[in-house]
Amino acid sequence: MFSVISTDTDSNVVTSVGQSTQQNSLTTGFISGSITVYAKASTPIQYSLAYASSGATAMQYELRVVVAGTTAPSSTGTVSSFNGRTGAVTPASGDYTAATGVIPTSTQIAGKNKIINGDMGVWQRGTSFSTSLGYGSIYTADRWKCFADSSIVLTTTQIAFDYSASPVAANAPISGYPSDYFMRLSQSGTTGGYPNISQLIEDVIPYSNQPLIVSFWAKASSAVSPYCFYQQNFGTGGSTAVNNTISFYNLTTSWQRFTFTFTPNSVVGKTIGAGSSLQISPLSFAAGTAMPSTIDIWGVQVEAGSTATQFTTATGTIQGELAACQRYYWQITGNASGITPIAAAFLSSTTTAQAYLQLPVTMRIAPTWSYSAIADIRVTWSAGTSVTSSLNQDITTPTTQSLRINTSGLTTGQGGYFLVDTGSSKYIAFSAEL
């Protein structure tokens, strides 16, 4: 692979990606191809490696630029620096990896990553979770489930990358995709609590009997060997789930990217029920394996094929990733400085207020709801704010909710609104998780 970076007419940086015409080896390489570059006048064109070499021959670069359909004279010369070496650079075995499959023309296409929130950027439920799960699981960062047995207290925390530190490589993965946060897991209690994190990818059928590759970055406070696994879940009333280990791997105290290829079993002959899924766990511990004090993970990606490409989120945009998360879970959280409105309300009697809530996206199924406490969800109108005696979810669909508050002292026929009371720990939420 090689790329040409240019600046187009509205000053946005554009990276054009070309394709090798011959497979690389560890000692020789040949890259060629043509890319049309659109650049405004007087804008320098930057380019990355495009070279041909064999054995001890110094690397050479060649750049051809097409302007208005005409190929400009080529620019050639000796590569002056590569991988920290300067002068007449000759290829070495660590300079590039032999191709093992076809790399897509674009490595940043939206939709290639089947993991939602792979960059750990959305945390609707909160930014820190500490609980003794007792052979159970909870959701933490959106779409991510954490599991542990009763012998440990597992803590999951949102941690910000530190780009001010030097070297940056010690504090953040170098992947061409800067990110705000990663996930940190830590534990207290006895060792061997089988902690793991996983995500359920909706619908098991499209992922059966075809090669997939899972990739992610991770590091730990001390060396340890967890493993990656997948499980095919066939949904309500479906066949028994199939669980398989993908690979064990070795974590160190530095960020590394791990990539593993696997092929889920065929679903032919299986009964598929509602809510089927492919569960991916990039981080899990075998019986008797002690988890170190902290483990950090980021940039989880599952894609078709056998060659890992550059990490991107499932949707490619911040707002798209949030909407993808909200298909499964949506939470309205209170704040410390004032109340948070939920929806406009109608006071149908002196004891009843009703509200119709439009969900921000169509959810996977009609959601169930939860809230921090009855007293945290209230109704207010011109004469004051109620003390809630009961909350009711009268109608629920994937797009709308009909909510009812029972209280006393309302003014029949007036309007008002439902609210989450003041306090950052107060919330109302709607879940359509798998």
pLDDT in tens, 92-115: 655 555 444 444 445 667 789 999
Q: What is the CATH code of the structural domain delimited by 329-431?
A: 2.60.40
- pLDDT value at 171 more than 90: no
Measuring CA to CA, how many Å separate 32 from each of 23, 48, 178? 11, 13, 29
Beta bridge partners of 172: none
Percent of the chain with pLDDT over 70: 73
pLDDT over 70 (residue 11): no
Quick one: pLDDT at residue 21? 44
Q: Which position has the higher pLDDT, 400 or 131?
A: 400
pLDDT at 391 over 90: yes
Q: Which residue has the higher pLDDT, 279 or 41?
A: 279
Place of tokens 């004051």: 384
pLDDT in tens, 319-341: 999 999 999 999 999 999 999 99
Least confident among 101-110, 374-383, 398-407: 101-110
Asked if the model's pLDDT at residue 9 lies above 70, the reply is no
Judged by average pLDDT, the poorest of 48-52, 128-132, 339-343 is 48-52
Rounded to an integer, what distance in angstroms lies between the CA atom of residue 406 and that of residue 187? 42
Residue-wise pLDDT for 206-236, tens only, equals: 999 999 999 999 999 999 999 999 999 999 9
Q: How many CB atoms lie within 10 A of CB 363?
A: 21
Query: What's the confidence (pLDDT) of residue 22?
Result: 43
Which residue ranges make up each domain of the chain?
A: 2-86, 128-324, 329-431
> Virtual CA dihedral for 211, 217, 219, 223, nearest 10 degrees?
30
Nearest one of 340, 314, 299 to 428, comparing CA atoms: 340
Least confident of 27-36, 104-113, 156-165, 384-393: 27-36
Mean of pLDDT over the chain: 83
How confident is the model at residue 114, as a pLDDT?
98
pLDDT at 368 over 90: yes
Please, which pLDDT band fits residue 163 given cuts at 50, 70 and 90?
confident
Residue 137: pLDDT band with limits 50, 70, 90:
confident
What is the end-to-end Cα distance of the chain in Å, rounded?
38
What phi, psi does 240 have (nearest 5°)? -65, 140
Tokens of 425: 């720990």
Looking at residue 1, what is its pLDDT?
A: 42
Q: How far apart are CA 281 and CA 215, in angstroms?
A: 11
How far is C-alpha 340 from the chain's CA centre? Answer: 28
Q: How confident is the model at residue 31 (pLDDT cuts 50, 70, 90)?
A: very low
| pLDDT of 19 higher than 50 | no
pLDDT bucket at 151, cuts 50 / 70 / 90: confident
Banded pLDDT at 26 (limits 50, 70, 90): very low
CATH number of 128-324: 2.60.120.260
pLDDT of residue 100: 44
pLDDT beyond 90 at 56:
no
Percentage above 90 pLDDT, the chain: 61
Q: Span 290-312, mean pLDDT?
A: 92
Q: 183: pLDDT confidence band, cut at 50, 70 and 90?
A: very high
Burial 375-410 (b: 16+ CB within 10 A, else e): ebbbbbbeeeebebeebeeeebeeeebebbbbbeeb
Looking at residues 275-291, what average pLDDT do you find?
Answer: 91
12 Cβ contact partners less than 8 Å away, ≥ 6 residues apart? none
pLDDT reported for residue 101: 45
What pLDDT does 95 receive? 59
Is 53's pLDDT higher than 60?
Answer: no
- Single-letter code of the amino acid located at 217: W
pLDDT score, position 25: 46
pLDDT at 24 over 60: no
pLDDT range class, residue 59, cuts 50, 70, 90: low
- Per-residue confidence at 288, pLDDT binned at 50, 70, 90? confident
